[in-house]
Structure 1
Amino acid sequence: MTRTDGATLRQPDRMEAYAPPAERPVLEAIDLHKTYGRRHVVDGVNLYVGDSEIVGLLGPNGAGKSTSFRMICGMVIPDRGRVYLGGQDVTDWPMFRRARDGQMGYLPQEPSVFKKLTVEENISSLLELLGVDRKARLRRTDELLEEFNITHIRKSKASGLSGGERRRLEIARCLVSNPRIVMLDEPFAGIDPVTVQSIQAVIKQLRDSGIAVLITDHAAREILHTVDRCYVIYQGQVLINGTPEEVKLHPKVREEYLGDIT
């Protein structure tokens, strides 16, 4: 299966062997397939995410991007293909084990905070579930509150947070287990333009701190202004893997998906 590098724009060639990157990536998905009934939703998707890299996964509705993302995260079992985290084959691991043992963080599309708990309790409770002792819990909670600029609302109930504050808390919760990669599902959904810019800055902050990020979202413009590299899925296959500028200039991507997005 074809996986082009970031400098090459190509249509997928199913007869060509998959060539992995020179260095072992944080995440690698190889030849993913998924069929529902008679419909081949994902048809040989290959992708990778390197260290400290933000990668987007885009595509029109029904293209197979969401199913590909869910297979990578462990929510859907592929009919064929493998998923690796840090070189470890995690294809058969459920999602919770990928998070616990595979150093993967995950932000769902739906609100994931405990509304009746305070901001700091939302973080410390997860650390407690991981078996972290009290002293270390307090230290790590303080670190995450400061890192995501939510120390001033630490005693506030999560139910009263703004959209941007909630997103920051949700991303902070993703980091309690010190993941090497964070999967973000629709991080820009339901938030205003100012908050979008704030969350884009947070995502780039993750990259700058050494954490890889894989994002899928319907907000193509916002994704392309955030990522270092992007895959576009079309009819179950990778149509292009390239930089945001390369993706925006690709004729087929413009025709079938992006239109005049700049």
Structure 2
Amino acid sequence: MTTLLTTPAATTSTGSDSGTPVLTASGITKSYGRGVWPLRRTRQVLAGADLTLYPGEVVGLTGENGSGKSTLMKILVGALGADAGTVTRTGGLGYCPQTPLVYARLTCDEHFELFGHAHGMTRESMQRSRQAIYEELGFARYARTRADQLSGGTLAKLNLGLALLADPDVLLLDEPYAGFDWDTYLKFWDLVAQRRTAGRTVLIVSHFVVDENRFDRIVAVRDGKAVPR
């Protein structure tokens, strides 16, 4: 099983490979069983994957469908247990899953309030962050709209906004710009650049990586390992 260790955040300089890692995954393995006995078969997805993230870098995590990149992401954030390996992190995490995990009957405002409370934010800091996210992603007019009435693109903005709300040290994003129009796509990269400048770390999972110049490095999940591309 996975051992998850959390240590106090350290003050470090920005830039790839600078300072103490903010997240380290070592020897991560994961297998899935399919079928029923006696025909049940086991498929190994991750076979000792290692990944280290440093302050102030933007990292792409890519791989073919079924390669295990989303599985690795879920293990990093603690949403899924590994069969073996350790994950060590410092500071807070923000997670944007590929499929938005929202409550159909809650408005955007209510989602931010709920997540802000879960993060232990004061009401004032939550409101400031929420307003900034509305303005940066351009969906303030949907503040009082229920999630089940949002378009796919606006739902993707809410999904990303909830991950950004508490200004996490490490932002883990699984296919975050699916459904974005071109204008929102550019705004997304502006946000990522701001986080890099502030010394925050961003890991982006994508089936294929475009705009490679926007990343500090790219890691591919291949044959159960995470290898530099």
Please classify the TM superposition score into its range, dividing by the shorter chain length. Answer: 0.7 to 0.9
String of CA shifts for 1:90-134, please: whole Å, max 9, x gaps: xxxxxxxxxxxx511111111234444333332123223445444
Matched to 2:82, the amino acid is P
Aligned residue among 9, 25, 31 for 1:35: 31
d(CA) in 2 for partners of 1:23 and 1:210? 11
Q: Does 2:218 correspond to 1:230?
A: yes
Q: Rate the CA distance shift 1:159–1:208 in 2: closer, same or farther, 3 A.
A: farther
d(CA) in 1 for partners of 2:95 and 2:142? 23
Contact 2:56 2:201 in 1 (8 A): yes
Counterpart in the other structure of 1:5: none
Q: Rate the CA distance shift 1:147–1:194 in 2: closer, same or farther, 3 A.
A: closer
Aligned residue among 22, 45, 50 for 1:26: 22
Q: Rate the CA distance shift 1:138–1:148 in 2: closer, same or farther, 3 A.
A: same
Give the drift of 1:29: 0.9
Contact 1:163 1:195 in 2 (8 A): no
Give the drift of 1:68: 1.9
The CA RMSD measured in Å over matched residues stands at 2.8
Moved more, 180-189 or 164-173: 164-173
Q: Rate the CA distance shift 1:222–1:116 in 2: closer, same or farther, 3 A.
A: farther
Aligned residue among 43, 64, 67 for 2:68: 64
Aligned residue among 185, 206, 217 for 2:195: 206
Contact 1:26 1:85 in 2 (8 A): yes
Q: Which runs of 5+ in 1 are unaligned?
A: 1-20, 87-101, 242-246, 248-262
Q: Rate the CA distance shift 1:142–1:190 in 2: closer, same or farther, 3 A.
A: closer
Q: Does 2:32 correspond to 1:44?
A: no
Secondary structure at the aligned position of 1:203 is classed as helix
d(CA) in 2 for partners of 1:148 and 1:85? 28
d(CA) in 1 for partners of 2:187 and 2:152? 11
Aligned residue among 84, 100, 107 for 1:118: 107
Contact 2:75 2:82 in 1 (8 A): yes
Q: Rate the CA distance shift 1:228–1:163 in 2: closer, same or farther, 3 A.
A: farther
Q: Rate the CA distance shift 1:25–1:146 in 2: closer, same or farther, 3 A.
A: same
Aligned residue among 53, 56, 66 for 2:57: 53
d(CA) in 2 for partners of 1:133 and 1:73? 24
Q: Rate the CA distance shift 1:196–1:51 in 2: closer, same or farther, 3 A.
A: same
Q: Percent identity?
A: 33
Give the drift of 1:199: 2.8
Q: What TM-score comes out, normalization by structure 1 length?
A: 0.66
Aligned residue among 212, 216, 240 for 2:205: 216
Instruction: State the aligned residue count.
Output: 205
More strand by share: 2
Counterpart in the other structure of 1:91: none
